[in-house]
Amino acid sequence: MKGATTNICYNVLDRIVHEKKLGDKIAFYWEGNEPEETTQITYHELLVQVCQFSNVLRKQGIRKGDRVAIYMPMIPKLVVAMLACARLGALHSIVFAGFSAESLCERILDASCSLLITADAFYRGEKLVKLKELADEALEKCREKGFPVRCCIVVKHLRRTELGTGDSLSQSPPIKRPCPDVQISWNEGVDFWWHELIHEAGDECEPEWCDAEDPLFILYTSGSTGKPKGVVHTVGGYMLYVATTFKYVFDFHAEDVFWCTADIGWITGHSYVTYGPMANGATSVLFEGIPTYPDVSRMWSIVDKYKVTKFYTAPTAIRLLMKFGDKPVTKHSRASLQVLGTVGEPINPEAWLWYHQVVGAQRCPIVDTFWQTETGGHMLTPLPGATPMKPGSATFPFFGVAPAILNESGEELEGEAEGYLVFKQPWPGIMRTVYGNHERFETTYFKKFPGYYVTGDGCRRDQDGYYWITGRIDDMLNVSGHLLSTAEVESALVEHKAIAEAAVVSHPHPVKGECLYCFVTLCDGYTFSSTLTEELKKQIREKIGPIATPDYIQNAPGLPKTRSGKIMRRVLRKIAQNDHDLGDISTVADPSVISQLFSHRCLTVQ
Ligand code: WTA
């Protein structure tokens, strides 16, 4: 109804507590990095914490429409932080805690965030991530660029057991890992401890009433030009879409225990850890750790511990665990499991079958959900138990979704076909703009084929009408389910003083799906060495983050280019794979570089 108002935080908390009377229901079982570190939080407790933290933010001057950056590990306070922003109508911009200081700075500047919420440090498996240090570095860079962020709120996570702040986390047992005294620097007047601010905050907070089309959050995704795009989702459509897709795609029932393994720093976490399950009053698992720590059966031990009924993960995790055989899986009962989901990249039939036969003991339907940061929620997906499955196919569109396959000239193909996957009509969860650059939104998604939303993915429809995603057809690659643009990695490489030019292509990888294969041309006076490749890797980790670390870096005295100077990536992909069937190379300006590159190929992962 025009003029009506709403608030998503109200809908996922107050409504669940007061109208559905589910205040005592567990919203999250939190499982820390160490198996002994656990806690749980009910809807009522979460509501109180969110109200308190909303009051903290309000006191710090946060108002409707302001942008707040969040850079946190997978802990309940991350959920509290995002919902508190939503309660005030402020846009959260969550930056995955695996991203570098530079990436965080870039995102803070792009959206002019006035406040940052972070934590002291956390463990991912054996690895200590000193988050506050990275946040400090990012804020320092922001200051240098003339944008001082006025407030940084820090959760004391690593040494929380000493706090006694009365919240449920402080009651969790001391962590067993050595808890190093992480020295964190403190900027007086800018840095504040979360637990100190919350101490003085009241536990009631009237939500800010919003229009359905008011922005809810910004989430950055790689763009083919190299500069990440701030995808903007709005309150009403996104809420409806994630609530509905969650309910039907996972066949939600009140007694379910749902576990989506994605980090909240990605769209899957936004939609299916926080908003979708909570809008349905579901109980979920929130997991801080990794699938291989302390051992490779961690996932299944968590499934048994909380009697998980619906489990949602990425093909890369399945392929990783598959390598260790069936035993780590079958030694756990997994009897509670009913539905298994996958997301993030095409799942190869071998991994699909292992997931179905071994993990799900052939009892559980698999929902292979195709969607994107931009779509807010599932687009192509089976409905469990109702859609006959084919391993590797995301099957059919969700309710109200109208896919089409186009050829290069933009004609819709009927029946069995392969081409560009597009959507013919909008759906509630479609992104509304690129933050601060509406023109980029229109150019990226609507210009190539006017009247259609272009996904950037290739797709095949078989004789039975099933859709099969064939992978990206732009300059993006999908490493372990995370999209990266070749341009962003190339620009990180050429910032090194030894590098004159770089070209990055996607290369098949047995676990990650795809990995990065980089060709670098050196400046005069430099020699190619393992020290240099290590430096380049470090540079990429610092500029983008560890997920973008290349597997291969090859010396390329020359690159195959067209006469107009365009790098021929198609040829480079073949060289990387030692495939001599190069097709038409008549447009290569200097064919001699090709044989030179074949002889310099990297044979092993560096
Ligand atoms: C890919 C993740 C095949 C695809 C939710 C898409 C998939 C990109 C699938 C979006 C799937 C996602 N089968 N490919 N089930 N799910 N993709 O924005 O290339 O991180 O365009 O959103 O991942 O990645 P994003």
Report the distance separating Cα 150 and Cα 114, nearest Å. Answer: 6
Phi-psi region of 344 (alpha: psi -120 to 50; beta: other; left: phi over 0): left
Report the distance separating Cα 192 and Cα 237, nearest Å. Answer: 35
Instruction: Please tell me the predicted confidence (pLDDT) of residue 223.
Output: 83
Ligand 1 centre distance from Cα of residue 96 (Å): 17
Report the distance separating Cα 463 and Cα 534, nearest Å. Answer: 49
Q: Residue 517's beta-bridge partner residues? A: 505, 552
End-to-end Cα separation, the chain, in angstroms: 58
Q: Where in 323-387 does DSSP place strands (E)?
A: 339-343, 366-369
Tokens 């090709």, located at residue: 594
In this predicted model, what pLDDT tens digit does every residue of 292-305 receive, in sequence order? 999 999 999 999 99
Ligand 1 atom closest to residue 381's alpha carbon, by position in its atom list: 15
Tokens 């290349």, located at residue: 550
Q: How many CB atoms lie within 10 A of CB 524?
A: 5
Structure tokens at 386: 């109702």
Residue to mutate (ligand 1; options 483, 512, 514, 547; most atoms within 8 A of CB): 483
For CA atoms 337, 338, 339, 340, give the dihedral sign: positive
Instruction: Please tell me the predicted confidence (pLDDT) of residue 472.
Output: 85
Cα–Cα nearest to 55, from 186, 208, 217, 212: 208
With 0-12 CB in 10 A as exposed, 13-18 as middle and 19+ as buried, what is 474?
middle
Question: At residue 13, what is the residue type?
Answer: L
Average pLDDT, consecutive stretches of 10 residues, N- to C-terminus, the chain (606 residues): 93 98 98 96 98 98 98 98 98 97 97 98 95 98 97 91 45 56 87 96 97 98 87 98 98 98 97 98 98 97 98 95 95 98 93 97 98 98 98 97 96 96 98 98 97 96 96 87 90 92 93 95 93 96 94 94 81 93 83 91 75
The SS3 assignment for 552 reads strand
Ligand 1 atom closest to residue 456's alpha carbon, by position in its atom list: 21
Ligand 1 atom closest to residue 481's alpha carbon, by position in its atom list: 23
Ligand 1 centre distance from Cα of residue 443 (Å): 20
Cα distances from 264 to residues 77, 267, 273, in angstroms, run: 12, 7, 7
Instruction: Please tell me the predicted confidence (pLDDT) of residue 570.
Output: 87
Cα–Cα nearest to 224, from 394, 434, 365: 434
The SS3 assignment for 487 reads helix
Cα–Cα nearest to 33, from 193, 177, 192: 177
Residue to mutate (ligand 1; options 261, 378, 457; most atoms within 8 A of CB): 457
Ligand 1 atom closest to residue 394's alpha carbon, by position in its atom list: 15
Q: For 537-557, give one letter per residue: b (16+ CB within 10 A) or e.
A: beebbbbbbebbbbbbbbbbe
Q: Looking at ligand 1, which residue's alpha carbon is closest to its atom 6?
A: 372
Instruction: Please tell me the predicted confidence (pLDDT) of residue 178.
Output: 59
In this predicted model, what pLDDT tens digit does every residue of 51-80 receive, in sequence order? 999 999 999 999 999 999 999 999 999 999
Ligand 1 centre distance from Cα of residue 544 (Å): 20
The SS3 assignment for 528 reads coil
Backbone angles phi, psi at 461, to 5 degrees: -115, 130
Q: Looking at ligand 1, which residue's alpha carbon is closest to its atom 22?
A: 372
Element (H, E) at 40: strand 38-42
Element (H, E) at 520: strand 513-522
Which residues have CB under 6 Å of ligand 1? 221, 266-268, 343-346, 368-373, 394, 455-457, 469, 472, 478, 483
Structure tokens at 595: 């044989």
